[in-house]
Amino acid sequence: MSADILSFIIFLPAVVAFGLMITTRHVETVRNIAFLATTVILALVLKIYIDFEPSAGMQFVTNVPWISSYGINYYIGVDGFSLTILMMIAILIPTAYLLLWDGRTKGYWINMLLVQTGVTGALLSLDVILFYFFWEIMLLPVFLMIGIYGFGDKVFTTIKVTVYTMVGSLLMFVAILYLGVSYFNEFGSWSFQYDSLTQITTLSYNEKIWLFLAFLSAFAIKIPIFPLHTWIMETYKNAPTGAVFLLSSIMAKLGVYAIVRFMIPIFPDIYVEFSTWFVFIGLFGLIYFGIAALMQDDLKRMFAYSSASHLSFIAAGIFSLNEFGINGALYLIIAHAIATGALFLLVGIIHDETGYKTIKDLGGLAKQSPIFTTVFAIMLLANIGLPGTNGFVSELLIIFGVYEFNHTLGYISALTVIIGASYMLWMFQRAILVKREAGEDLKFRDLKIKEIIGLTPWIILIFLMGLYPDIFINKFEPTVTHYLNDILQIGATK
């Protein structure tokens, strides 16, 4: 079972989804079986997490021919990088189901399952063609969710995000084929395994730059990184809550992961040479998106800009060339997924119950919903990096990493944290705490028992990761050290 456990985790949601498509129309049955499937996956991932040996490199590997005439393999495995995000996905998705429990259709739950297969497959793929296959699979269900279950101009929004994403994906696919041909020309055989592609020595400097940028375009759009971000605001505003949760908490993080997994090992010299530019772009995005968030009245748009700001900070950490920054970036991937994902789900509850999601139309919710308000406050404070939360640890590590990289940029990164606190606290006061300005207070319920159950693991993780970070960092730190010492050959500075 250990050799096939990753394949089971990848394909169980898709098998269940296709089975539900043809066997039942009962929404509650579909939802319950989908939830059961995700909890089974969580149990299996917990087993992997417990059995995982951080210093042993890639584990639970399966590598068998898929399209053997072109060297394309079904090649999957897990290491410290991917295990951390796999655990995040396994925890967040079933617990998010509890917050999306009522008022959804059969197709909604089936698309959620298909996305889980896509993101998990892409996360665990070590063959770049296989990665591309799953990368595309994860996108289609989200497009359908936006187009079918979205709000406002949902058709235009779907077309816009599809065009953006497909352009980036096409550029990446061309780059993948170019690398495969280059490997064939140098070694006389085909291979698309990422560790094989790192052996190519015949690429010119200009070729590597263009290939690097082609890969980056796909991942930067998905994260998003400035200036490839213009699709995100209307998408988050018009998409249904489940799709926004998937885009912000899971799929955006996969873009960051892909940079670490594929771009750094295949193009290490380009990564090092242009790191200063990307740290600067990351910090610029942190400031730009933070100021933009401060100017928003729509909660979804505010959190969209907030998410982009944090993801820009993660990008700065990834390109900082030291263990502080990269560890912090990986930690912030998890911290941001928890806090921002929960905030989007909570905003979805506000919209479903009141019909509003603009700050000027809200207010006075706290006195009607003390539990909701408390949970909202915890997620908000984790998002701005309050000491004792996972957000504080991850942001502090990135600040140290950027400071190690460049002292001036380090000071700038530390000061910009104030921006996030400003717009989050301002929003919380107006939308939740103070009396509604637009008239009588809105009728609003408190969290249901199943919603509290769903959010409880997230709250526990926020404080557990904030108070005992070594429990989690020790799982992926050896992989970071390997990247710095063996792949980049620049040494792991702490």
Say what angle helices 449-467 and 470-482 make with each other, to 10 degrees: 60
Residue 246 DSSP symbol = I
pLDDT digits (tens, 9 = 90+) for 406-457: 888 888 888 887 777 777 888 888 888 877 765 676 787 888 888 899 899 9
Per-residue model confidence (pLDDT) at position 253: 86
Per-residue model confidence (pLDDT) at position 134: 94
The predicted model gives 18-38 an average pLDDT of 88
472, 348 in Cβ contact below 8 A?
Answer: no
Say whether pLDDT at 1 is over 60.
no
Q: Which range, 25-34, 37-46, 300-309, has the best average confidence (pLDDT)? A: 37-46
How much of the chain exceeds pLDDT 70, in percent?
A: 96
Q: How confident is the model at residue 492 (pLDDT cuts 50, 70, 90)?
A: very low
More confident position, 40 or 356:
40
Cα separation, 127 vs 357, whole angstroms: 42
Per-residue model confidence (pLDDT) at position 3: 60
More confident position, 81 or 130:
130
pLDDT digits (tens, 9 = 90+) for 367-406: 888 898 999 999 999 988 889 999 889 999 999 999 998 8
Per-residue model confidence (pLDDT) at position 260: 86
pLDDT digits (tens, 9 = 90+) for 265-321: 898 888 888 888 989 888 998 888 888 888 888 888 888 888 888 888 898 998 888
368, 440 in Cβ contact below 8 A?
Answer: no
Cα separation, 461 vs 239, whole angstroms: 27
483, 264 in Cβ contact below 8 A?
Answer: yes
Of 38-52, 141-155, 177-191, 194-208, the one with minimum mean pLDDT is: 141-155
Q: How confident is the model at residue 8 (pLDDT cuts 50, 70, 90)?
A: very high
- Positive or negative: CA dihedral 327, 329, 330, 334: positive
Residue 487 DSSP symbol = I
Rounded to the nearest 10 degrees, how much is the dihedral formed by the CA atoms of 368, 369, 373, 376? -130
Q: Which range, 336-340, 429-433, 472-476, has the best average confidence (pLDDT)? A: 336-340
Q: How confident is the model at residue 243 (pLDDT cuts 50, 70, 90)?
A: confident
Cα separation, 362 vs 351, whole angstroms: 10
Q: How confident is the model at residue 75 (pLDDT cuts 50, 70, 90)?
A: very high
Per-residue model confidence (pLDDT) at position 490: 54
463, 378 in Cβ contact below 8 A?
Answer: no
Say whether pLDDT at 491 is over 60.
no
With 0-12 / 13-18 / 19 or more C-beta atoms within 10 angstroms meaning exposed / middle / buried, residue 415 is exposed
Give the chain's mean pLDDT.
86
pLDDT digits (tens, 9 = 90+) for 161-173: 888 888 889 999 9
Which residue bears the tokens 């993948």?
A: 176
pLDDT digits (tens, 9 = 90+) for 11-22: 999 999 999 888
- pTM beyond 0.85: the answer is yes
Number of CB atoms found within 10 A of residue 82's CB? 25
The predicted model gives 44-56 an average pLDDT of 87
Per-residue model confidence (pLDDT) at position 438: 59
Q: Which helix (H) or strand (E) holds 60?
A: strand 59-67
Q: Which range, 60-69, 243-252, 415-424, has the best average confidence (pLDDT)? A: 60-69
Per-residue model confidence (pLDDT) at position 494: 44
Please, what's the b/e burial string for 131-167 (b: 16 or more CB within 10 A of its CB; e: otherwise)? Answer: bbbbbebbbebbbbbbbebbeeebeebbebbbebbbe
Q: How confident is the model at residue 493 (pLDDT cuts 50, 70, 90)?
A: very low
Number of CB atoms found within 10 A of residue 367's CB? 12
The predicted model gives 143-159 an average pLDDT of 82
Q: How confident is the model at residue 116 (pLDDT cuts 50, 70, 90)?
A: very high
The predicted model gives 101-112 an average pLDDT of 84
Cα separation, 372 vs 446, whole angstroms: 6
